Amino acid sequence: MSAADAALVAQLQQGSEVAFRTLVARFQDRVYQTAFSLLRSPEEAEDVAQEVFVEVYQTIGRFRGEAALSTWLYRLATSRALKNRQRARAKKRFAFFTSLLGFDNETLYEPPDHGHPQALLEGQQQLQLLLAHVARLPDQQQVAFTLRHEQELSYEEIAAVLETTVPAVESLLFRARQTLRKHVHPLLRHV
């Protein structure tokens, strides 16, 4: 952990509100972008970012500094985003089954409209196709892919966030890329 991060953590552990505002100002964009990359919903990403900083405020006393402060924040954001996504999937499954049983007639799912900045560069249809397939990757592959390609973290940083080894990260990224090549590349010719 850098000396600046260590000083910030020490101030946070002493209850400094100024240090907390500094932490939020320094890391809120990264935490939000990590959550958005996994959830693809600005509202949900904002909620996750707020939850992460509340958790940091409440648990900073237990932070031992074994990992970099940014790694801890990425880990918290990733964990929260995945939990939110699992809850959303469970709600969709419940809604689907209740509609089959005739309890409600609402639309169960409408594809999200992603206002992602890369859409201007790659074309809206291609980007949505890619994002849809990234969202179908297994959780660990999706997190590794997102942290590498959208957050530009190093393999070592991703390994720290996922609490695994660099070779495991390499394997996750290789499998994610293979899956995406297999499913997305043939479809891009038709878009």
Q: How confident is the model at residue 120 (pLDDT cuts 50, 70, 90)?
A: very low
The predicted-structure confidence for 32-65, as pLDDT tens digits, reads as follows: 999 998 888 899 999 999 999 999 999 998 888 8
**What is d(CA 63, CA 68) in angstroms, rounded to the nearest whole number?**
10
CA 24 → CA 29, 127, 129, 136, 186, distances in Å?
A: 9, 30, 33, 31, 42
Where are the chain's structural domains? 1-105, 112-191
Inter-residue contact 100 to 122 (CB < 8 Å): no
Is the confidence at residue 191, as pLDDT, over 80?
Answer: no
Inter-residue contact 106 to 99 (CB < 8 Å): yes
Q: Look up the CATH number of domain 1-105.
A: 1.10.1740.10
Q: How confident is the model at residue 139 (pLDDT cuts 50, 70, 90)?
A: confident
CA 60 → CA 12, 54, 57, distances in Å?
A: 7, 10, 6
Identify the top-confidence range among 58-67, 68-77, 174-183: 68-77
- Confidence at residue 161, expressed as pLDDT on a 0 to 100 scale: 87
What angle do helix axes 155-162 and 166-188 make, rounded to 10 degrees? 110
Q: What is the mean pLDDT of residues 95-99?
A: 41
Q: Look up the CATH number of domain 112-191.
A: 1.10.10.10
* Single-letter amino acid code for the residue at 189: R
- Burial string for 147-170 (b: 16+ CB within 10 Å, else e) reads bbebbebebebbbbbbeeeeebbe
